[in-house]
């Protein structure tokens, strides 16, 4: 019997489906819509693992949104998120982080109404600050935010390599793919040096320096 053949009566084990967890927040202005939003969440295939109603202080909001520290909207964000109670939900399902981000829609509710009219932010939000819901950005932020809202929670470790793939998909692959595509079009004699120069020139994190003649 060849390596690719199966013995009669034996079936291949189904591939393991990794269940992700992410954090969702229902913001102060839509607290009265919590049941409606939870119903949409459950009908979208999520399991609500834990739920908590909490009123954060401005200091706690500053800690929660520490990744946004220094941005112009940071004071308004922390003041708004501490203005009333919020609902924290720990959600679980396959591909939970990306699915929840898609269900929320763009962060600016006005844009969401135009481009993603069926999203939660389009339906319940009013602008880029009062946009109804929050969701974790990636695996790292999901773990941190869940621990913040549910300090006694034990979170399954992310499978080896998943965090690295998440990082590459968010910060490296889009620029690298564009560079490789252009490389195939140009076909330079020294492809490695050409690609290195292209990546340096098109680095999205490179600061814009305005050159002025004297």
Catalytic residue among 32, 55, 134, 202: 134
Annotated catalytic, 55? no
Lookup: tokens for 20: 């992700």
Quick check: is 46 in a domain? yes
Nearest to 120 by CA among 100, 137, 138: 100
* The pLDDT of residue 128: 84
Whole-number percent of the chain with pLDDT over 70: 79
25-75: per-residue pLDDT in tens? 999 999 999 999 999 999 999 999 999 999 999 999 999 998 888 888 899
* The pLDDT of residue 20: 86
143-193: per-residue pLDDT in tens? 999 999 998 866 555 554 555 666 677 668 888 888 899 999 999 989 889
Give the global pTM. 0.66
Q: Residue 2: pLDDT above 90?
A: no
Cβ pair 29, 85 in contact under 8 A: no
Which residue range is the domain that position 77 belongs to?
19-158
Annotate 176-201 with DSSP letters as a single string. Answer: HHHHHHHHHHH--SSHHHHHHHHHHH
Lookup: tokens for 100: 């929840």
Q: Are residues 192 and 123 in the same domain?
A: no
Total domain count for the chain? 2
Q: Are residues 153 and 178 in the same domain?
A: no
72-119: per-residue pLDDT in tens? 889 999 999 999 999 999 999 888 999 999 999 999 999 999 999 999
Q: Are residues 40 and 71 in the same domain?
A: yes
């Amino acid at each position: 019997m060849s390596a690719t053949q199966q013995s009669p009566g034996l079936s291949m084990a189904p591939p393991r489906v990794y269940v992700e967890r992410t954090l969702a927040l229902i913001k102060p202005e839509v607290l009265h819509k919590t049941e409606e939003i939870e119903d949409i969440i459950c009908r979208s295939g999520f399991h609500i693992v834990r739920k908590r109603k909490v009123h954060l202080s401005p200091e706690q909001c500053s800690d929660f949104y520490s990744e946004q520290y220094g941005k112009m909207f940071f004071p308004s964000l922390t003041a708004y998120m501490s203005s009333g109670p919020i609902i924290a939900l720990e959600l679980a399902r396959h591909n939970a982080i990306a699915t929840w981000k898609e269900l929320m829609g763009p962060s600016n509710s006005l844009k969401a109404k135009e481009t993603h009219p069926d999203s939660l932010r389009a339906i319940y939000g009013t602008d880029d600050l009062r946009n109804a819901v929050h969701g974790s950005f990636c695996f790292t932020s999901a773990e941190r935010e869940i621990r913040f809202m549910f300090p006694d929670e034990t979170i399954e470790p992310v499978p080896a390599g998943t965090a690295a793939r998440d990082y590459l998909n968010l910060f490296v692959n889009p620029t690298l793919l564009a560079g490789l595509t252009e490389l195939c079009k140009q076909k330079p004699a020294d492809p490695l040096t050409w690609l290195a120069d292209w990546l340096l020139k098109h680095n999205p994190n490179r600061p814009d320096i305005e050159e002025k003649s004297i």
